[in-house]
């Protein structure tokens, strides 16, 4: 990588890989969530994630680059941690609280990635692309906020005992 454009393209491919991995992983998270509102939040975010992946495909097409070719190692690790957690937990309430924690780690990673991509797009003069990336960033912030509300309003308290 020699230019900000090269780095930007790398970031887009990394985000694409992250979203692709998350689409594959979220159904297992949904099936392990016990709380109906949490399950619904994960289902909604799965659909958003599919739209985010499509948005990244469209952006890459606009830039005449392939979205594939990178593996997001960070997402791979975050998903692996969540899968290990699912195998270890024996209590439904602890499962829900832990799934929120794992999902929020993922959301924070995606917020960081999309935030960086938005800044790079603006620097490079890709204002239309920056707007599309901002849409995904806003969805990630909303998903994190919704998970936080579920955790604070009841899921964490249920896991205390």
Please say if the pLDDT value at position 150 is more than 80. yes
Burial class (CB in 10 A: 0-12, 13-18, 19+), 85: middle
Residue 152: the pLDDT is 84
> Model confidence at 157, in pLDDT bands (50, 70, 90)?
confident
Q: Report yes or no on whether pTM surpasses 0.85.
A: yes
Report the alpha-carbon distance of residue 138 to residue 115 in Å, rounded.
10
Domains of the chain: residue spans and CATH: 4-151 (1.20.1260.10)
Burial class (CB in 10 A: 0-12, 13-18, 19+), 92: middle
For residue 31, the tally of other CB atoms under 10 A from its CB is: 10
User: Contact, 48 vs 23, CB < 8 A?
Assistant: no
Q: Could you report the per-residue pLDDT of 66-110, keeping only the tens digit for each?
A: 999 899 999 999 999 999 999 999 999 999 999 999 999 999 999
> Model confidence at 155, in pLDDT bands (50, 70, 90)?
confident
Report the alpha-carbon distance of residue 16 to residue 53 in Å, rounded.
6
**Residue burial 101-129, b: 16+ Cβ < 10 Å; e: rest:** bbbebbbebbbebbebbbebbeebebeeb
Please say if the pLDDT value at position 161 is more than 80. no
User: Contact, 102 vs 45, CB < 8 A?
Assistant: no
Q: Could you report the per-residue pLDDT of 3-39, keeping only the tens digit for each?
A: 999 999 999 999 999 999 999 999 999 999 999 999 9
Q: Could you report the per-residue pLDDT of 38-78, keeping only the tens digit for each?
A: 999 999 999 999 999 999 999 999 999 999 989 999 999 99
SS3 of residue 72 by DSSP: coil
């Amino acid at each position: 990588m020699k230019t900000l454009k090269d780095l930007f393209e790398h970031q887009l491919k990394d985000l694409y890989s992250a979203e692709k991995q998350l689409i594959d992983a979220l159904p297992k998270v949904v099936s392990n969530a016990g709380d109906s509102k949490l399950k619904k939040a994960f289902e909604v975010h799965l659909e958003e994630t599919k739209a985010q992946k499509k948005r990244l495909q469209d952006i890459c097409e606009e830039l005449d680059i392939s979205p594939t070719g990178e593996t997001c190692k960070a997402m791979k690790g975050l998903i692996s941690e969540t899968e290990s957690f699912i195998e270890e937990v024996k209590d439904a309430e602890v499962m829900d609280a832990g799934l929120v924690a794992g999902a929020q780690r993922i959301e924070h990673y995606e917020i960081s990635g999309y935030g960086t991509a938005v800044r790079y797009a603006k620097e490079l003069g890709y204002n239309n692309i920056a707007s599309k990336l901002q849409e995904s960033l806003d969805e990630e912030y909303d998903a994190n906020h919704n998970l936080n509300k579920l955790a604070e309003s009841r899921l964490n308290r249920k896991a205390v005992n």
